[in-house]
Amino acid sequence: MKFTKSLLAVLAMGLSAGSAVADGNMASDMTLVSWGGAYQQSQINAYANPYVEMNSDVTVTWDESSAEAVAKLRAMNEAGSITWDVVDVVAADALRLCDEGLAMEIDPDEMLADAPDGTSAADDFGDLLVGDCFIPQIVYSTTFGYRTDLVPAGTEAPNDICDVFDLATYPGMRALEKRPINNVEWALLCDGVAKEDVYDVLATEEGQEQALAKLDTIKDSVIWWSAGADTPQLLADGEVFMGSTYNGRLFAAIVEQGQPIEMMWDAQVFDLDGWIIPEGLSDERLERALDFVRFATDTQRLADQAQYISYGPARQSSAPLVGKHATLGIDMAPHMPTDPNNAKNTFLYNFEFWADYRDDIDAKFQAWLAQ
Amino acid sequence: MSDTTASGPMLAADGRPLKESLRRALRRQKLRALALIAPLLLFVLLTFVIPILSMLVRSVENDIVATTLPGTVPALTEWDSSQGDIPPEDVYRNLFFDMFNAAEAKEHTKLGTRLNYENTGLASLFRTSGRSMDDIGEIFQDAIEDIDARFEDGAFWYEMMNGTGGGALVAERRTRWTELTDDDMNGDIGFTPSQAVVDLLPTTAAAYTDFAIWTVIDAEDVVAEEDPWEAVYAALAIDLRDPARAAAIASYAGPGADALQALTAAGLPEQSFTDAFIELDEDWGDADVWQTVALYSPTYTPGYFLNSVDRELTINGVAARPDNEQIYIKLFMRTLWMSLIITSSCILLGYPVAWLLANLPVRSANVLMILVLLPFWTSLLVRTSAWKVLLQQQGVINEILVWLGFVDDANRLILMNNSTGTIIAMTHILLPFMILPLYSVMKTIQPTYLRAAKSLGATNWTAFWRVYFPQSIPGIGAGSILVFILSIGYYITPEIVGGTDGVFISNRIAYNISRSLNWGLAAALGTILLVLVMALYWLYDRIVGIDNVKLGG
């Protein structure tokens, strides 16, 4: 470790730059990392622009590297030069960054704003505070969309997760993510495993084989995607009949682009996305990062983000404040994954399980794919 | 200076020996040349040689187990892993102190992540156990404080432990902390254990020194003002319960002697660390977990390389991984095989184009050249995405074929998300790398040779095959090497159009780098790929001869 570390440190020496200091103790530059696209735009509109309006001396730089955030933060850490201040990651990645000592531990009550009615931040976020480093921002779900015009005549539209596996009733290609997460859970649910037993079954060799065997029944009719934008494109082009992706992507395809696509919310898998602050920031930058995060995760700001994208705010106190879409003027609440009509049958991503089993099951999944 | 003659050495104008003067001039020239290439040399060194070296080191480096569990690993060497029993109490005791320190420094989860690659479940085992080390320590702390309340006081502890003569212990523990955290742990800690305490209570002295170093260096507190952490109480209980020390403790007269004697008199809890760990998580009672720790405790491991060829390290030596997890050899073979196909199709498609380029009148050749270069100048991602639009089932090619009636609407061709897609897209993308060297070689082939062959009675085919083709082989060689080596390491195109059976080994390397964070395995895979390319290059040199490769004139 030391050999590579010192090498990288030499490399990084030339690259690290001190950031300017403004109003007393806070840095005036801040680099935020997110996912790009409509999601990042919603963050710019709801968080960054109002923040800069309040603090006109702050320059915000965006980096669209969230997909590689864990690897990049690790490389930065080894090089001894952290150039990011606040990073948007999914909860599973936050857990790993925390495990690796790359993300700072968070004390929600001290660092985050209380709800307007005085509820403490820890209570307001509740169970969504996964691990010790994660500051939740939104609840999103991975769920299915299908082409309304490709539903066979005389058949009712798919409304059950097991319709994905029913090639006889719903012929056509499916788009599934090229990784085991979510797919194996759905497979087991449709192979007779009760919802509460899914992870116990998946922890066994037989359970993993059972899940892959179920997926095997539709393997020839699957196009495997690796980027969230793939499924909406495949649906729009008529390449697939139904496909899984993040609900916000489907919202954009359905509502903003008017594609003949409909949501199938059954067994949607809830997941979280939020901020982490990298370990090892200088005091000035840390002050700035904390100041921004406190602002950007308060009740109003989280509710504001929902004007731009159909992801549910992570605070309970934000839910009643969710309004209409900023440009389309439609009510956003019915498009939220957390809306009671959509959340009749939901599934919660098990972070701890996947932190352990991710590599093991992925190896088997990839070997199965390559067969 | 051996070549002196009878008349003495030949002298230059300034009176120095000519030979020396000449050498000096040459040296200056060499230095100047070196200065000219220095920026490039430095650049190559920093961006190429060092990363490759670091990758090579990473593929075998494995010091994390030994630095995170510095007490447990030596203790484990005396345990016979093949018997299927759990290790002795001594190992668990060391594990407690190692884990306690690692949890304070938040290093235990890194070790858990590392070992989880080899044995699924260890990530959460280490993560949750790290949180509970305090609880084990508290069993002892509560018992000790119940017997004598003075042990609640940090200042009392400091007075009991502090003295002179224990400098070696501080240095030793400091080294451990440095190795554990990779941080500089230097600085005055304002504490030295007394030699008497080190002799009397060695475990306690070590644990208290650990506490002192961490308190001062990391938390920036003063040792005497802080209450020791739970591990110190556990250490004290171990020392005081040790029958071999009973006599020494009874006759001890240093600071706090009466308190220590009171503790031994009252009796301390008989808590076994083995039980405590197994109660925490039954996996600690699983010999399998310990075998993994033992197997991966050496500083260097062949484990990553074994994993890269679908093997694994077991207590019975090297074994094949389970069938349903074997993937890397298959991917290596596929990468080589498909690169070969791509190279051949580039030769087949590129050769006529290069011939046209070399033989058309300049004006039309230039237009053709632009057609070759234009896609070359377009972003790789754009070109690959364009292929997606062309190849998909509702895409341009299928639409045209269906419209022409060659293909039935219900059975459209599957041209992408499989190896066909990868081969088509990559052949197109790499084609210029074949055409350009071919063209520059063909440009130098004299047309007179062909005419001479024909005038001597050769048919068109014979003239081409016996006269023209052999002269163009250096171009094929250069183009093939370029295309083959480029395609072996290709990543983006297979990822986008490759589906399941069109992905390469580099896609798996990328997964290990950015998703699984298993950089050791990624480094091993990368090293194998590098060696493979160099071996093929060597083979090519032996068969074709590298002198036969020409990139131009």
Per-residue exposure over B283-292, b if at least 16 CB sit within 10 Å of its own CB, e if not: bbebbebbbb
Based on the domain organization, do B159 and B52 belong to the same domain? Answer: no
Q: Does one domain contain both B157 and B22?
A: no
Flag whether B528 is in a domain.
yes
Residue B397 neighbours by CB under 8 Å, 6+ apart: B390, B391, B413, B415
For residue B203, the one-letter residue type is T
Mutation to test the B interface, candidates A65, A68, A99, most B Cβ within 10 Å: A99
Residue A21 has pLDDT above 90, yes or no: no
Distances (CA, A) of A208 to A184, A244, A303, A316, B119: 8, 21, 39, 36, 16
Q: What stretches in chain B show pLDDT beneath 50? A: 1-5, 553
Cβ partners under 8 Å of residue A125, min gap 6: A108, A112, A136, A314, A315, A316
Burial letters for A188-201: b for 16+ Cβ neighbours within 10 Å, e otherwise? bbbbebeeeebbeb
Quick check: B85 and B103 in contact, CB under 8 A? no
Q: Is residue B363 assigned to a domain?
A: yes
How far is residue B313's CA from residue B306's CA, in Å, rounded to a whole number?
7
Distance CA B402, CA B303 (A): 52
Residue B305 lies inside a defined structural domain of this protein: no
pLDDT of A110:
93
Structural domain contains residue B63: no
Mutate to test the interface with B, among A1, A200, A233, A364 (most CBs of B within 10 A): A1
User: Would you call A7 and B50 a contact, using CB atoms and an 8 Å cutoff?
Assistant: yes
Domains in chain A: boundaries: 2-133+277-335, 141-270+340-370
Do A2-133+277-335 and A141-270+340-370 have matching folds?
A: yes
Report the CATH fold assignment for A141-270+340-370.
Answer: D-Maltodextrin-Binding Protein; domain 2 (3.40.190)
The encoded tokens of residue B510 equal 């990328």
Residue A143 in this model has a pLDDT that exceeds 60: yes
- Residue B190 tokens read as 């304002």
* pLDDT attached to residue B129: 93
Say how far residue A164 (Cα) sits from the centre of its chain. 23
Determine contact, residues A206/A219, Cβ cutoff 8 Å: no
pLDDT, tens digit (0-9, with 9 covering 90-100), for A47-82 = 999 999 999 999 999 999 998 899 999 999 988 899
pLDDT at B182: 85
Q: Which helix (H) or strand (E) holds B408?
A: none
How far is A209 from chain B, CA to nearest CA, in Å?
9
Contact between A296 and A288 (Cβ < 8 Å): no
Distance from CA of B392 to the nearest CA of A (A): 7
| Residue pair B134/B101 in contact by the 8 Å Cβ criterion | no
Q: Which two tokens stand for residue B443?
A: 């440009």
Determine the Cα–Cα distance for residues B336 and B55; give it in Å rounded to an integer.
22
Structural domain includes residue B192:
yes
DSSP A103: B
DSSP state of A241: S
* pLDDT on residue A348: 86
Of the candidates A71, A99, A355, which has its C-beta nearest B513's C-beta? A71
- Burial class of residue B253, CB neighbours in 10 A (0-12, 13-18, 19+): exposed
- The CA distance from A211 to the nearest CA of chain B, in Å, is 13
Angstrom distance (rounded) from CA B38 to CA A17? 25
Over residues A92-116, the pLDDT tens digits come to 999 889 988 899 999 999 999 999 9
* R_g (Cα) of chain B, nearest Å: 36
Query: What CATH number is attached to the domain comprising B483?
Result: 1.10.3720.10
pLDDT in the model for residue B290: 95
> What are the pLDDT digits (tens) for A33-43?
999 888 999 99
pLDDT tens-digit readout, A349-369 = 888 899 889 888 998 998 898
3-state secondary structure of A110: helix
The range of the structural domain enclosing residue B511 comes to 328-548
Please report residues of B whose CB lies closer than 8 A to that of A178.
500
Distance from the Cα of residue B412 to its chain's centroid: 43
Nearest to A1 among B64, B112, B330 (CB): B64
Give Cβ neighbours of residue A358 (< 8 Å, ≥ 6 apart). A181, B516
Confidence band for A14, pLDDT divided at 50, 70 and 90: very low
How far off is chain A from B106, nearest CA to CA, in Å?
Answer: 6
Q: What does chain B come to in residues?
A: 553
Note whether residue B471 is domain-resident.
yes
**Per residue in A187-226, pLDDT tens?**
999 999 999 999 999 999 999 999 999 999 999 999 999 8
Q: Is A12 a residue whose pLDDT tops 90?
A: no
Residues A85/A281, Cβ–Cβ less than 8 Å: yes
Helix or strand or coil: residue B327?
coil
In a domain, B444, yes or no: yes
B99 in Cβ contact with B137 (< 8 Å): no
C-alpha neighbours within 13 Å on the C-beta side of residue B415: 19
Answer whether A260's CB lies under 8 Å from A147's CB.
yes
Q: How far apart are CA B205 and CA B199, in angstroms?
A: 9
Residue B316 counted as domain residue: no
Asked whether residue A293 carries a pLDDT value surpassing 70, the answer given is yes
Whether residue A206 lies within 8 A of chain B, CB to CB, comes out as: no
- Window 52-71 of A: residues touching B by CB (8 A cutoff) are 67-68, 70-71
ipTM: 0.86
Do B412 and B542 lie in one domain? The reply is yes
Q: Residue B78 CA to chain centroid, in angstroms?
A: 30
The number of domains in chain B is 3
Fold of A2-133+277-335: D-Maltodextrin-Binding Protein; domain 2 (3.40.190)
Phi, psi of A261 (to 5 degrees): -125, 145
B509 and B473 together in one domain: yes
Q: Do both B255 and B347 map to the same domain?
A: no
- All residues at 6 or more sequence positions from B452 whose CB lies less than 8 Å from its CB, including other chains: none
pLDDT of the residue at B551: 60
